[in-house]
Amino acid sequence: MSVKHRQANTSFSEAGRYAVVVAVTPEELKQRIEAGIPGSAAQVSGDGQHFRAEVTSPAFAGLSRIAQHKLVYEVFGAEIGDRIHALSIKTEAP
């Protein structure tokens, strides 16, 4: 993972210190999706803040599209909207 030192990738804490935010990569998201959803295969593209993930998993069988997407979002929790500014998802069962 790379560390960004630009102003846009830092946040000012109440203590008056800047926190370094570690950049997210498409490969990291791919690995986390595949680890978090057993049997899944993911293709992820993105620019470090905005990402698109296409995920195939037997875990999606019989689930609504909303439930499928929820499984993917649960892999990242509170990082969505924070470290991961935006994530577009396309899911399907094999």
**3: in domain:** no
Dihedral through CA 78, CA 20, CA 85, CA 91, nearest 10?
A: -70
**16: in domain:** no
For the chain, how many structural domains are there in total? 1
pLDDT tens sequence across 43-88: 999 998 899 999 999 999 999 999 999 999 999 999 998 889 999 9
**12: in domain:** no
Q: What mean pLDDT comes out for the span 10-17?
A: 54
Instruction: Show the beta-strand stretches assigned E in 40-84.
Output: 41-46, 50-56
pLDDT tens sequence across 29-45: 999 999 999 999 999 99
Q: CA 66, CA 73: separation in Å to the nearest integer?
A: 10
**79: in domain:** yes
**69: in domain:** yes
Domain that holds residue 30: 24-92
Q: Coil, helix or strand for 91?
A: strand
pTM: 0.76
Q: CA 49, CA 46: separation in Å to the nearest integer?
A: 7
